[in-house]
Structure 1
Amino acid sequence: MENRSYHTPRGGHPPQTDLLSGRAVFTTAYAVIPRGVMMDIVTSLLPHWSKTRAWIIARPMTGFSETFSQYVMEVLPGGGSAKPEPDSRAEAALFVVAGSLSIEHDGATHRLRPGSFAYLPAGSAWTLQNDGAEVATFHWIRKAFRSVEGIEAPEAIFTHEDEHLPTPMPDTDGRWATTRFVDPTDIRHDMHVTIVTLEPGAVIPFMETHVMEHGLYVLEGQAVYRLNEDWVEVQAGDFMWLRAFCPQACYAGGPGRFRYLLYKDVNRHASLW
């Protein structure tokens, strides 16, 4: 098992002596929500959740996310929910970054720890509980599942990052690699949630421009990201949203590796509306 680090929001509130400055950017092509704005005052409470708060960092709205929502959930010991998901259309991807959790699904109990990943199909009946002694933090990505006639829906997945070898990108000597929790050829899935790792000095050496919408939460390290026409410095705890076709590239410029949790929509025709 490798030595891994996953950033968690610290919350709190800045003192009145702090300067009014920051790195937050919101455009029609991309947005950067830096870790410094994830304070107590911007958290949300959710129905049927106890001892829990959420940083909602993406939601479908005009000029922003179109295919997904993403929460950073903080659950105190004894907290959780017996009715976590109110929308039967919503599939879920969960990734734990701190503490431990138990999920009840289909009559079985699954224990999750930092690095654990869970996929819960749309319409699933599941519950979540922090039955540990420490605060638990996890990412919750929600998406309306797009079913396809003649193709069955995917089943639930419970796994851990340690169980998946990163897949190196061609001709990179492993310096740019992706940890995949789902077989990329499995057409049943309409979204992928992966972890991308770039070693110090590694690059995404071309301006990616593609139909997939992205959500990127930096788990570890720092880099300079090219977003549309701008170069933006990002670090652990920052979140980036990239609209479909937003040009993107990256230099991993820190002393350590740069890693982020990546969402993208896949495997479906473009909607005509």
Structure 2
Amino acid sequence: MSRPRTRGPAVLRAVVLGIGALAFLFPFYYMIIGSLQREPDQTVAGAFPHPGNLTFANYVTIDSRIDLLRSVINSGIFTAGVIIGTVVFGTLAGYALAVLQWRGRGAVFALALLVQVVPFQLLIIPLYVLIARSYGLADNYLGMILPFAISSTAVIIFRQYFLQLPQAMFEAARIDGASELQLLTKIALPLVRPALVTVVLVTFIGPWNEFLWPFLITKRADLQPLAVSLANYLTNVANSTANPFGALLAGAVVLVVPVVVLFVVFQRQFVSSDLSSGVKG
């Protein structure tokens, strides 16, 4: 007699979670449907259009105005450069803060935590003067990448993961003659794969969606990433198109899809692996 009572809360929980999932996914669905509509319909009924009103014309339209492929390539170069710099410098700094013993290690880690509370907007003016005026890297991929190449968040993540590794494992490898670089690349990194994936995912979202810094540092349209190109399209040429609403949603779909796909593919990697599996009993 108690089975129906125990099943009731589970069913209610499933219903509530299902409604929450639908509410969360509906904006993405509406964005995709809106990008495919030939005639814009911004009402609630527009979420369920007639199949005859669906077309890829909006993607063709926005591609003809902002060179969608070129903008995606620019975003990819910008994001890849930031990810490479973040992973390389993050692993080196995280390893030094977690494994190596040196004077001032605690102060450096405290400084990395302090950087977290400084808004990037406060640094834009001195960064622009330094990179554009002093280094002459305006309208340059390197000028876009440099301010984001080192991330204190990545340093903290790698440090916390490296601290979970047994120190005896590193001592044994040192006795065998392994260098610190070999310890990092052959022992530490394979055991903190979840940290690598987490840093890549978190880092990817930032530069891929970044607007303000690339907008300031690049004036050439052929170097601007997709977020900046979409903003320019909305400001300058959207009103001259037959369906600016649909074309803008088409660009938003192109901007969002890589992030969603990357997360879906690697979401399981967010779960920490069994670090003790690398140590023989």
TM range (shorter): under 0.3
The structure in which a higher percent of residues are strand is 1
TM-score, structure 2 as length reference: 0.23
The structure in which a higher percent of residues are helix is 2
Higher alpha-carbon Rg: 2
TM-score, structure 1 as length reference: 0.24
